[in-house]
Structure 1
Amino acid sequence: MSNWTAGYVADIAYTYGYYAELNPHRVKMAFLSAGLACPEIGTACELGFGQGVSANLHAAASTIQWYGTDFNPSQASFAQELARASHSEARLFDESFADFAARSDLPEFDFIGLHGIWSWISDENRAVIVEFIRRKLKVGGVLYISYNTQPGWANFAPMRHLMTQHAEVAGVEGNGIVSRINGALDFTEKLLATEPLYARANPHVHERIKKLKEQNRHYLAHEYFNRDWLPMHFSTMAEWLEPAKLSFACSAHYLDQIDSINLSNEQQQFLENIPNPMFRETVRDFMVNQQFRRDYWVRGPRKLGNIKQTELLRQQRIILIQHRPDVSLTATGSLGEANMQEAVYAPILDTLADHQIMTLGQIEQITGQSFVKILQAIYVLIGSGSLVTVQSDDEIAKAKPRCEQLNLHLCTQARASNEVSYLASPVLGGGVPVGRFQQIFLLARQEGKHQPEEWAQYAWQLLVRQEQRLLLEGKTINSEEDNLNQLRKWAHTFADKELKILKALGVA
């Protein structure tokens, strides 16, 4: 492996994922829930942006000026291509963290984000990042950081070590990382079949290996097979960030903030008796067996008074992004699946069913429910992906042309590829999931085809020209009639459910 990779897997492309927690517009609701003032965000930076999907969707869909770096030149090239397509003027580089931090042309940032980076780099690079944050994050600025954490990895960490050792000493280098991953997984299964005492003491390992075998090898390469891999306790993370004068604000994963679905009454009472908030967070990780944290930190937290907090919450704008009958009244937390009270949730969802933008104050007036109940329901629905926060009308208007240009580029790519399954929404200031064939249907509409039957025919002709067939539940559909019937089914579902939502989001 060449030196420029610094031990990070570079011979297989990273996945084309989108991570909503990197959207600065999500920060405000999370901060308000914690009773904190949120800064106005005009400049943002993503360190280790992978393929750059998140950075580009956020740059196109907002008025924020974005910067970022990823050491892999092929990934940076793809990210720069998206930036050119949207005309967002996002400045994305292929530099190491040290080289990027040394640049003299970077502004100070209101928001810095790292997703899927911290746990997979060396201490040297961690120190570079902390120093960069210390110098470049503004007073009042926000850091988003996600990382593998203890104690959730305590049982599986030895198995991960064994798999990487097998890939290193028993894998055939010339066959590439995918072959070495498959070899390590097969070896691990054979080892577990001998019923070692480790497996008896950790019975969940069998099921975890089974799930790993079903996952995308590109994801596994970057998640498990880097040289550096360190799950970190929350308290250790706090020690790392202390030189940058950062304070923990709250979880960026909204459902983590709902104690009722994550902690028993006894656990909640136990935590309430711990006066130190940082130690309390560490203890909470043991209660929920935390494996992956997604957190916001702030450089200089400012508490809001109750009146101001409530006023700002009532002004928050949201929109429903699921078809109303499809919204589940269940939420999954550490305690398992919890049923939501239909008497509380149904009136809120009915009020939002036409996918119009509304404030929490308007919902309060229409439903007549107490604001406390509305607020918890909103956080649960945002956390479960049914609702999203909405930016201002002025920001929407400014972002719309860039989103249209980027989305046209992505939909055009979808004719031959299913790599990027998200499009940019000027309404929410970030990405919304849209699959390959739904993108193709949007492209057909732009070319003057207005009926689902036309969209299906358009998609089928693309498949024919590329000698492709649909894959459904792991099986190839061979006949033309069956392919067309499936495409028609998807097209009608798109017309009946998804199109109206995408129009409300400024995507269609």
Structure 2
Amino acid sequence: MSDWTAGYVADIGYTFGYYTELNPLRLRLPLLSSGYAFPNVESACELGFGQGVSVNMHAAASSIAHYGTDFNPAQANFAQELARQSGARLHLHDEAFAEFCNRSDLPDFDYIGLHGIWSWISDENRSVIVDFIRRKLKVGGVLYISYNTQPGWAAMLPMRGLLTEHAQVMAAPGQGIVSRIDSALDFAERLLATDPIFGRVNPVVGERIKRMKDQNRSYLAHEYFNRDWHPMTFSRMAEWLAGAKLNFACSAHYVDHVDAVNLSTEQQAFLKEIPDAMFREAVRDFMCNTQFRRDYWIKGGRRLNPVERVEALRQQQVILVNSPENVELKVSGYIGDATLNEGIYCPLLEAMSDHKPKTLNQLEQMTKAKGLSLPQILQAVMILVGKNDLAPVQDELGISKAKKQCDKLNAHLLQASRGSHDVGYLAAPLTGAAVPVNRFQQMFLLAKNNGRKSPEECVKFAWEYLENLNQRLTKEGKALETPEENIAELQRQAVEFFEKRLPILKALMVT
């Protein structure tokens, strides 16, 4: 009997995460910032969509036709159910890459996305994917690909091999993947406690093992314990993608576009001396000890002239998706935490405090008296979007087409929140993306949709379900035991939700 998993972990599902970089509507600002024209995305494809949360959110919140596959039928089934609920233009399959990529009924795509999966598959599957991209990505189309990279993973490579070998040869018969992971981590911890020379030379390994012990086992299973696990250098990735006629465009992580928070002055000067852009990017990874890359690659990217670029940037709309008082004037980059300039960020946040979409041109006019220039505004916007304080806004046509689909998907997720905390997001028509909304907030929204008006009424609604399921809240890592403690904590969260979160969800057209 053939192994349909191809060495990939399949006896435990992947996490129900949402990955905003997979959103085709998000690529406009980074590409414009880097001087590239962006495609009008009408068709998109996600390879290895996991539980399908991202692809469903992006399809429901836009008019884009989405296609995709994930080899795990349980995950594909969950994703397909979400698709049925929204009625969005989704075509999701449970096929292996070789099967899906050779389907005759697929259109050509403006956008193809892969999150993480590249690091966990064989060279045979990589060849299938590159050939698919070569054939099916349109000229001018964009590939988003994220992957574990070097040199950031260099020290961990031998330990990862030891962990997977332990899980294979030391596990008791019939032991499940979670138990095997726990045993492997315990073994690694005991090994490092003997003070091996490897641990002394690579102290970061011990720190990572400690962090892994606290991480979700579903995540660890898929991140570390697949048969194939290949952190790849940027230069090697470029060699692979050259066969698909792709050129590197820029990072999909917005904060990466701001050198000042990622590189020292000396490092920036050193990189400027390197004329070759690809080699410069490889050297940058050494400066940052990069572990994970999130990149856009273009097939035949068109460079904009300065006038085109500035005009397109000025038309871009953004919206504040956080309460102004909750926006920290700090950002974490590769060189540590940086304090943001109040003279730039405070006027911008004030201009956007009404939670209404603003173009960069409008922000430029509104902050002109404070002396802000378009380059300063662009840099601040890139950082604030990267910190999830701002979000790009899609056009009116996209919003109008997405509203009904989002309402249907969100209604389904709100109903599911009565018994599950799996999906902690709702679809936002305004941004064409997902927005974090935890289980209790979803239950408050459901209560509100069912006629409850006050925080107290919503708390009573939520507590009835939690009590019937014998479920309890936690606070500061400890379970709350008594009904009074649980209701008090729900009340605190409900008041905060009504005062701070609900107005933002309304602005995003989530509710």
Q: If the length of structure 2 is used for normalisation, what is the TM-score?
A: 0.99
The answer to whether structure 1 residue 263 and structure 2 residue 266 are counterparts is no
SS, match of residue 171 in structure 2: coil
SS, match of residue 219 in structure 2: helix
Q: Work out the CA distance in 2 between the residues paired with 1:207 and 1:127.
A: 35
How do 1:243-254 and structure 2 match up within 5 A?
Answer: 243-254=243-254
Contiguous gaps of at least 5 residues in structure 2 = none
Counterpart for residue 63 of structure 1: 63
SS, match of residue 286 in structure 2: helix
The answer to whether structure 1 residue 445 and structure 2 residue 448 are counterparts is yes
Q: Work out the CA distance in 1 between the residues paired with 2:301 and 2:266.
A: 30
Kept in 1: contact 2:345–2:380 (CA 8 A): yes
Counterpart for residue 209 of structure 1: 209
Counterpart for residue 14 of structure 1: 14
Q: CA deviation at 1:464?
A: 1.4
Q: Work out the CA distance in 2 between the residues paired with 1:459 and 1:166.
A: 44
Q: Work out the CA distance in 1 between the residues paired with 2:467 and 2:89.
A: 37
Q: Work out the CA distance in 2 between the residues paired with 1:94 and 1:116.
A: 18
1:420 to 393, 410, 423: 423
What are the Cα deviations for residues 331-373 of structure 1, in whole angstroms up to 9, with x where unaligned?
A: 1101000001000100000110110111010011011111111
How do 1:301-450 and structure 2 match up within 5 A?
Answer: 301-368=301-368, 369-450=372-453
How do 1:194-233 and structure 2 match up within 5 A?
Answer: 194-233=194-233
Q: Work out the CA distance in 2 between the residues paired with 1:172 and 1:457.
A: 47
Q: Work out the CA distance in 1 between the residues paired with 2:61 and 2:37.
A: 23
Counterpart for residue 291 of structure 1: 291
Q: Work out the CA distance in 2 between the residues paired with 1:303 and 1:51.
A: 36
SS, match of residue 50 in structure 2: coil
Q: Work out the CA distance in 2 between the residues paired with 1:470 and 1:116.
A: 32
The answer to whether structure 1 residue 454 and structure 2 residue 439 are counterparts is no
1:488 to 470, 491, 499: 491
Q: Work out the CA distance in 1 between the residues paired with 2:471 and 2:293.
A: 40
Q: Work out the CA distance in 2 between the residues paired with 1:221 and 1:173.
A: 18
Specify the code of the residue in structure 1 equivalent to 2:327.
V
Q: CA deviation at 1:173?
A: 4.3
Specify the code of the residue in structure 1 equivalent to 2:212.
L
Q: Work out the CA distance in 1 between the residues paired with 2:476 and 2:174.
A: 32
Could you say if the C-alpha distance between residues 280 and 496 of structure 1 is closer, same or farther in structure 2, counting changes exceeding 3 Å? same
Q: Work out the CA distance in 2 between the residues paired with 1:471 and 1:120.
A: 34
What are the Cα deviations for residues 296-316 of structure 1, in whole angstroms up to 9, with x where unaligned?
A: 000001111111101110100
How do 1:233-244 and structure 2 match up within 5 A?
Answer: 233-244=233-244
What are the Cα deviations for residues 357-403 of structure 1, in whole angstroms up to 9, with x where unaligned?
A: 11010011011111111111111111111000000112111100000
Specify the code of the residue in structure 2 equivalent to 1:383.
G
Counterpart for residue 76 of structure 1: 76
The answer to whether structure 1 residue 177 and structure 2 residue 177 are counterparts is yes
Q: Work out the CA distance in 2 between the residues paired with 1:467 and 1:2.
A: 43
Q: CA deviation at 1:53?
A: 0.3
Moved more, 42-51 or 388-397: 388-397
SS, match of residue 74 in structure 2: helix
Q: CA deviation at 1:126?
A: 0.2
Q: Work out the CA distance in 2 between the residues paired with 1:116 and 1:421.
A: 21
Q: Work out the CA distance in 2 between the residues paired with 1:470 and 1:372.
A: 46
Q: CA deviation at 1:462?
A: 0.6
Q: CA deviation at 1:257?
A: 1.1
The answer to whether structure 1 residue 40 and structure 2 residue 43 are counterparts is no
What are the Cα deviations for residues 68-120 of structure 1, in whole angstroms up to 9, with x where unaligned?
A: 00000000000000000000130000000000011110000000000010000
Contiguous gaps of at least 5 residues in structure 1 = none
Q: Work out the CA distance in 1 between the residues paired with 2:103 and 2:209.
A: 43
Specify the code of the residue in structure 1 equivalent to 2:380.
A
SS, match of residue 419 in structure 1: coil
What are the Cα deviations for residues 398-433 of structure 1, in whole angstroms up to 9, with x where unaligned?
A: 100000000010111111011000110011101111
The answer to whether structure 1 residue 188 and structure 2 residue 191 are counterparts is no
Specify the code of the residue in structure 2 equivalent to 1:472.
K
Counterpart for residue 470 of structure 1: 473
What are the Cα deviations for residues 281-331 of structure 1, in whole angstroms up to 9, with x where unaligned?
A: 000000000000000000001111111101110100000000110001101
Counterpart for residue 107 of structure 1: 107
Length, aligned pairs only:
508
How do 1:141-160 and structure 2 match up within 5 A?
Answer: 141-160=141-160
Specify the code of the residue in structure 1 equivalent to 2:457.
E
Counterpart for residue 86 of structure 2: 86
Q: CA deviation at 1:172?
A: 2.1
SS, match of residue 226 in structure 2: coil
SS, match of residue 396 in structure 1: helix
Q: CA deviation at 1:472?
A: 2.3
Percent identity, aligned pairs only? 59
Q: CA deviation at 1:473?
A: 2.8
Q: If the length of structure 1 is used for normalisation, what is the TM-score?
A: 0.99
Kept in 1: contact 2:148–2:292 (CA 8 A): yes
What are the Cα deviations for residues 199-231 of structure 1, in whole angstroms up to 9, with x where unaligned?
A: 000112221111100000000000000000000
Q: CA deviation at 1:36?
A: 0.3
Specify the code of the residue in structure 2 equivalent to 1:28.
R
Q: Work out the CA distance in 1 between the residues paired with 2:335 and 2:477.
A: 32
SS, match of residue 146 in structure 1: strand
Q: Work out the CA distance in 2 between the residues paired with 1:328 and 1:474.
A: 24
Q: Work out the CA distance in 1 between the residues paired with 2:101 and 2:200.
A: 47
Q: CA deviation at 1:475?
A: 1.8
Specify the code of the residue in structure 1 equivalent to 2:230.
L
SS, match of residue 3 in structure 1: coil
Counterpart for residue 125 of structure 1: 125
Q: Work out the CA distance in 2 between the residues paired with 1:173 and 1:499.
A: 51
Specify the code of the residue in structure 1 equivalent to 2:333.
G
Q: Work out the CA distance in 2 between the residues paired with 1:8 and 1:414.
A: 30
Q: CA deviation at 1:474?
A: 2.8
After the TM superposition, which parts of structure 1 deviate over 6 Å for at least 4 consecutive aligned residues?
none
Specify the code of the residue in structure 2 equivalent to 1:23.
N
Q: Work out the CA distance in 2 between the residues paired with 1:353 and 1:271.
A: 38
Q: Work out the CA distance in 1 between the residues paired with 2:173 and 2:301.
A: 49
Q: CA deviation at 1:2?
A: 6.5
Kept in 1: contact 2:146–2:293 (CA 8 A): yes
Q: Work out the CA distance in 2 between the residues paired with 1:106 and 1:366.
A: 46
SS, match of residue 4 in structure 2: helix
Could you say if the C-alpha distance between residues 375 and 89 of structure 1 is closer, same or farther in structure 2, counting changes exceeding 3 Å? closer
